[in-house]
Structure formats: structure tokens, C-alpha cells
Amino acid sequence: MFCIRLTLRRALAATLSLAASFPLLAGAAPPVATSGTVAEPAAGPPSAAAATHGIDVSAIDRSVAPGDDFFRYANGAWLKRTEIPPDRSSWGTFGVLAELTDSRTDELIRAASASAETVSEARKVADYYDSFMDEATIERLGVAPLAAGLKQIDAISDRASLARALGRTLRADVDVLNSTSLHTENLFGLWVAQDLDDPTRYSPFLLQGGLVMPDRDYYLSPTQKMGDIRERYRAHIAAVLRLAGFHSAEARATRIYELEKRIAAGHWSRAESEEVQKGDNHWAAADFSRLAPGLEWREFFAGAGLGEVQGFVVWQPSAVTVISALTASVPLDTWKDFLRFHYVEAYSPFLAKAFVAEHFAFHQQTLSGTPQQRERWKRAVAATNDALQDAVGRLYVARYFPPDEKARAEALVHNLIVAMGMRIDRLTWMTPATREKAKAKLATLKVGVGYPDHWRDYSGLDVVRGDAFGNAERARLFDYRSNLAKLGKPVDRGEWAMPAQLVDAVNLPAMNAINFPAAILQPPYFDPERDPVMDYGSIGAVIGHEISHSFDDQGALFDASGTLRNWWTKEDFAHFKAAGDRLVAQYNAYHPFPDVSVNGKQTLSENIADVAGLSVAYDAWRLMLQGHAAPAGEGYSAEQLFFLAFAQSWQEKAREPALRRQLVTDGHAPPEYRADTVRNLDAWYDAFDIEPGQALYLAPADRVRVW
Ligand SMILES: [Zn+2]
């Protein structure tokens, strides 16, 4: 919800086991911004080809009037000539840049493999990667790596040992507020974060889980499309069980599926889970057996390593109650099959080819429409990033994010913050009380540029050459324990919610902090070799977007300290909400397909952030000029370049299943409509001589100004 792009903590795992949920992070070709060639899947890592500078003139379609369809005016020629690579569910500016970053990361890891010392962090990175690449060993091992984990499940003999086994599956794999990753295949998910009522300490947040498919809708929606997917899923469960050597796979699959369906029926919807005030429920450890009877909670927490913890935040209480009751009422053997299947499913990407292929067929083909599996090296980079994100990040920024680029980015962020402050000062409708609190919040905003101040220490993680499966298991457990270790310690506001090598940006509302990873601070978003106007139009709008999240409908819920306390006066909030309602209507009117529209309510926070971010970026650019004339370029005025750079930062096309899925599960509107945000800014009308009657034209009174 609070990032510029995707909403997941484990974005980098997307290509491995979670690709279906996250169709937008994927990539497969050299950067082709102006080459005019269609992106082909590379045979090996694509070269770090020369980036383009300025806007991509060859992408523009002059047969489209800017006032009718600004996205297609800025990107139409690119859309016509580009085919989505077969191993991608979507393709565009973000994907190209992610691909470039991955290929660079791949080169860095290979170099580390050749040169790193025997005992070093770089050696761990290299060994993790090399073990994943060693398909011959993985193939030879077959199902052997599963044996120890399955034996533990076989040993479950009663409800107490079931509870303990379920507790052992808990991982720190969800995130409610930052990257809003709400989905886990484990029965529950844990997020360790700043408490929403007491910002001086960390709390463990417990979230609903237990579903392999991305959302409760996939189990419950009556549509034919979802019905078809359900049949494919049941077949997938059976196929995985057969591969792992279980008899009666069909019957077991049916029972597992029926259990997940009952869990889904108790789940909260995505929209409901995003309501922060509904989620902030404090339960003492002793409350669980009364409020959610069924599961032997003491055993569960002991299995999870949480036996000493006294208090939790239970995000979806009624779902936890339903799930807990099922652990008592559903036969033990069904739960054991559930655990077996979920275990094999979670680690299939680290097993032999047959498991990998089955996993791909369901998660990427069926759920996202991606025709072709990504090459092994790309999956190896994603896996290594996921396991050792900061160790890889250190290698990455040392090579690709020089101090002068960090300084230049910090200056840009500073200008955006100044411009935001001036907008707050200028708001005529805001009462002094709210204005003062907004300024206080802006003043305490903690900005992270490029990479975190402190990197995570991986000395406690064992990486064993030749053990891809064990490495993955240990890395997930290490990550979990690192999160548990935060409990009882002071809150670290310098903590990051994203890897430095991820093309994205994020606002951490409870921490009142923002992170801009190094990987998004590069062309075409941020480019030292062109006029800054285009940086303001692209990365400037991204930065403005993240800053404004601190002040949007959800940011309004957290004060400067990060406490969940609405700091707006009633009148101010009502005024703000009215502007939001008009934005809801604006986006509800967009129809990507005749039968589906954008959900204006589900995407409201992000749309507010887009409008505010672009407005602030425009102001910041004018401020930076200090009255000097702005240079034109490529036959366009400086103002036109600003808006074209913005619209081209949303250059993208997606496969139909992926786009339909985004419309259901993502808090962001599809890129095309994000580009059309321009219609709310007066400056855009002047820049392109937009006239009444054109499709995107809004009368001045209908243009939404949120800040
Ligand atoms: Zn956002």
C-alpha cells in the first residue's frame, strides 16, 4: 500500500515461489529504451548496455493527441513494437531496470565466487548462488532433502504435537504497513514491527495465513474463471504429492483443498485487512485460548520460539479464531497432509526439475499467464537476494551507487521535502492545528537514500556448498530469528523495509520513514547525464509519492511519533476525504476490460500519492530553477519534458491474466492510469494545450488537488 510499485516484502522471491502473486516484478531482456528492438529473452545475462539519456523519443506516438490519451501519446510507439518476453507476465520500464540490476548482480556474484575468501560474507553469497545453480547435484539428491522435514510431520501424534509443528512453520514473511505483503502459505504469518500504540517498542503482529492461492477470492468467488483455477489447483496439489512419493494423492489433495477452503472462508478480504484501526488488536499470550479456542497455543508458541512473549497484535482476530477452531475439529491426518503438501510446495523451487516445472506450471502459467520459465541464473539471483539481501546489497552499492550519486539523490529529496512544506503552508482550507502537526511530521521524516545505515550481519547463517535446499531452509529460519531478536530492543528507525538492489521505493508509516533503494536511483529514473527536469518528472514524482504517503488517508492515522492517532481535525479530514471521493470516481471510470473497471477505493491511497507526488515534484523543479529559464530538448519544452518523463516512467504492458489479477489484489492502479495522473495538474494543460472535449480534459473545478 505504501510503496510506489509493488506491495510485498519478499518481492525478490517473486520469481521463485510467489511469482503468481506478484506479476509485476519480472524481467528478461537488455534495456531497450530507444533501440527499437523487441526484447528477446537473453541466452545469458544481458550486458549492462548503455542507458539512454533524456526521454525516449522513439516511444512517442504522435498520431495520438496528448489530451485524449497521454499514456499512449508518450508510449504508443513502444507499445506497438514491444512484445512481452515469454518468461514475463508484464514488461516495461520497471522490468527493464530490474533485469539490468539482476544481470549486474549476477556478474558481481560470479566474480565473488571466483575471488572471495573462504570465510567471508561474499563467500556465503557465492556459495548460496552456486549451490542453487548446481542442478546436477539437486537432481541427484531427488527427494532426499525433504526426508527430515517430512519425518517430523510423520511424528505428529496428537493435537499438542500438531500445534507445536504448526508453530515451527511460523516465519517473518508478512508486512502489514510497509510493503503490505499480506499473504503466507504457512498457517499464520509474523511481522515484527514498531508497536502502533507505543512507538518505543517492537510488537509481534500475527496475521492470517494457510492458503497457497493468492487470496480468499480464489477459493470462494463464484465466477467460471476462478472455478477453473480451483480445479487446476486441486490437480496441482495431487501432482506435488505424487512427486514427493505419497500414495492416494487424489484423495489427499481433495481433503487438503477442502481444508484450505474452510480457512479461506474465515479470512478477511484484502480491503478489510488494510484497515489499520481494525487490525490493531492487542492480545496477551494468555488470551488466545479463550478468544480463539482450539489450537493448543502454548505448544504453538513454544514451537514458534515465542514461548516467552507476553503480548501480540492480532491483525484479523475472527480469522485467527476460525483457523484455531479448525485445528481441533479437522482430523489429525488431514492436518498432517496439509503440512506435508505445504512443506514440499514452499521448497519446490529448490528441488529437482520435476518439482520446479510443476510449481511453475501452476503459479506462473495458470495464475499469471506467463508462458515460459525464467532462466536458472535469474532465479538464482532472486533466491540469493531473498536469502542474503543485505550481503548482496553491499556488493551492489559498492559497485553501482557511488557517493556522488547518493549526494545528488539526497539533494533532490531535500528539494521535494521543501516543496511539500510550501504546499502545506499554502493550503487555504487547512486549520492551523492540523497544519502545525503536518509540518512536525514532515520535519521528523526519516529519509533513507540508496541503502541502510547498518547492514544485517549474516555471521549466524550457515551456507553449505551443494545444499541448495538446506541453505534455503536455514536462510528463512535465520531471517525469522533475526526478527524475533528485535523484540525487547529499542526501535531502530534506520531499519529498512526494502533491499538496496530492488527497483522500488517505500514509506514506513509507523516509523515515519521512507526508503529509496539504490536500484531505482538510476536511469531512466535518475540520470546524471541529462537535464534535471526529467529526473524531477520521473524519480522526483516517485519521491513525492512516498513523502505524501505520510499525509494521505492512511498517513493521517499516524502522528509524527508513529503512534496510531489521527492528527487531523474533523473538518480538515472531511475536506480531505471529499477530494478523495472525487479521485475514487475518477479511477472507477477507467475500464481496462469491458467487464472490469479499476477499483477507485482499493487504489485510493496510491492515487492520492500519485497526484500529490507529481504536484510536489513539479513545484520542486520550479524551485530548483530559481527563476532561470528551463532548457528545452528533443523538440519539446521543459514543461513537456517533465510530463513526458513522468508518463514514460509508467511505460508497461501486461498479459491479460496478470492485469486482471492486479485489478483484484493490488493497491496500485495499472500503470497506464497512473500516467494519466497528469490530468489533475494545471501545468499539464498549459504544456500541451489541452482543450475541453478531449478525453482526459477535466474542468478546473474537477481537477483533484489533495495537497
Ligand atoms: Zn505508494
Across 323-328, average pLDDT: 98
Cis peptide before 432 (omega within 30 of 0): no
**DSSP secondary structure letter of residue 362:** I
Residue 1 Cα to ligand 1 midpoint, Å, equals 6
| Partners of 189 in the β-ladder | 207
* Residue whose entry in the numeric block shows the C-alpha cell 480451483: 230
Residue 208 φ/ψ, nearest 5 degrees: -60, 150
**Is pLDDT larger for residue 621 or for residue 13?**
621
Residues with CB under 5 A from ligand 1 (ion): 606, 609
List, for residues 482-501, the tens digit of each pLDDT value.
Answer: 999 999 999 998 899 999 99
Residue 606 Cα to ligand 1 midpoint, Å, equals 5
The Cα–Cα gap between 388 and 293 comes to 38
The Cα–Cα gap between 222 and 224 comes to 7
What is the model's pLDDT at position 52?
57
What is the model's pLDDT at position 22?
26
DSSP 34-45: TT-PPP---SSP
Residue 252 Cα to ligand 1 midpoint, Å, equals 41
**Closest-CA residue to 517 (of 587, 447, 430, 597):** 447
pLDDT at 461 exceeding the cut of 70: yes
Residue 357 Cα to ligand 1 midpoint, Å, equals 34
Residue 703 Cα to ligand 1 midpoint, Å, equals 20
pLDDT at 43 exceeding the cut of 90: no
Residue 102 Cα to ligand 1 midpoint, Å, equals 23
The Cα–Cα gap between 203 and 282 comes to 10
What is the model's pLDDT at position 2?
67
Residue 667 Cα to ligand 1 midpoint, Å, equals 8
**Closest-CA residue to 128 (of 451, 475, 362, 439):** 475
The Cα–Cα gap between 438 and 441 comes to 5
CB 547 within 8 A of CB 613: yes
How many degrees, rounded to 5, is the angle at CA 172 between CA 170 and CA 177?
130
The Cα–Cα gap between 539 and 527 comes to 9
List, for residues 372-425, the tens digit of each pLDDT value.
Answer: 999 999 999 999 999 999 999 999 999 999 999 999 999 999 999 999 999 999
Residue 82 Cα to ligand 1 midpoint, Å, equals 27
* pLDDT bracket for residue 661 (50, 70, 90): confident
Cell numbers at 520, concatenated: 531505482
**Spatial strand order in the sheet of 202-208:** 188-194, 202-208, 311-314, 282-284
Percent of the chain at pLDDT above 90?
79
CB 275 within 8 A of CB 137: no
The Cα–Cα gap between 494 and 508 comes to 11
Across 221-247, average pLDDT: 95
What is the model's pLDDT at position 8?
32
**Closest-CA residue to 511 (of 468, 472, 547, 558):** 558
Across 100-111, average pLDDT: 96
Interacting residues of 71 by C-beta distance below 8 A, sequence separation 6+: 647, 650, 671, 672, 673, 675, 676
**Closest-CA residue to 680 (of 535, 579, 553):** 579
Burial of 398 (C-beta count, 10 Å sphere; 0-12/13-18/19+): exposed
Whole-prediction pTM: 0.89
Residue 97 Cα to ligand 1 midpoint, Å, equals 19
CB 373 within 8 A of CB 364: yes
Residue 503 Cα to ligand 1 midpoint, Å, equals 13
| Partners of 517 in the β-ladder | 450
What is the model's pLDDT at position 596?
86
- Indicate the Cα dihedral angle 462, 463, 466, 469, nearest 10°: 80
* Secondary structure class of 262 (helix, strand, coil): helix
* Residue whose entry in the numeric block shows the C-alpha cell 499539464: 684
Residue 454 Cα to ligand 1 midpoint, Å, equals 25
Cell numbers at 507, concatenated: 514509506
List, for residues 170-182, the tens digit of each pLDDT value.
Answer: 999 999 988 888 9
Interacting residues of 391 by C-beta distance below 8 A, sequence separation 6+: 121, 122, 124, 125, 455, 456, 458
Across 518-537, average pLDDT: 94
Residue 115 Cα to ligand 1 midpoint, Å, equals 40
List, for residues 588-635, the tens digit of each pLDDT value.
Answer: 999 999 888 999 988 898 999 999 999 999 999 999 998 888 888 889
User: Within 10 Å of residue 606's Cβ, how many Cβ atoms?
Assistant: 25
The Cα–Cα gap between 40 and 570 comes to 54
Cell numbers at 273, concatenated: 485487512
**b (16+ CB within 10 A) / e for 163-180:** bbbbbbbbbbbbbbbbbb
N residues, the chain: 707
List, for residues 502-513, the tens digit of each pLDDT value.
Answer: 999 999 988 899
The Cα–Cα gap between 421 and 182 comes to 33
* pLDDT bracket for residue 135 (50, 70, 90): very high
Q: What are the helix (H) ranges across 427-540? A: 432-443, 468-484, 532-535
CB 261 within 8 A of CB 128: no
**Closest-CA residue to 214 (of 374, 375, 381, 7):** 7
Encode 511-522 in three state secondary structure.
CCEEEEEHHHCC
* pLDDT bracket for residue 442 (50, 70, 90): very high
Determine the residue type at 112: A
Residue 332 Cα to ligand 1 midpoint, Å, equals 43
Residue 526 Cα to ligand 1 midpoint, Å, equals 18
What is the model's pLDDT at position 666?
85
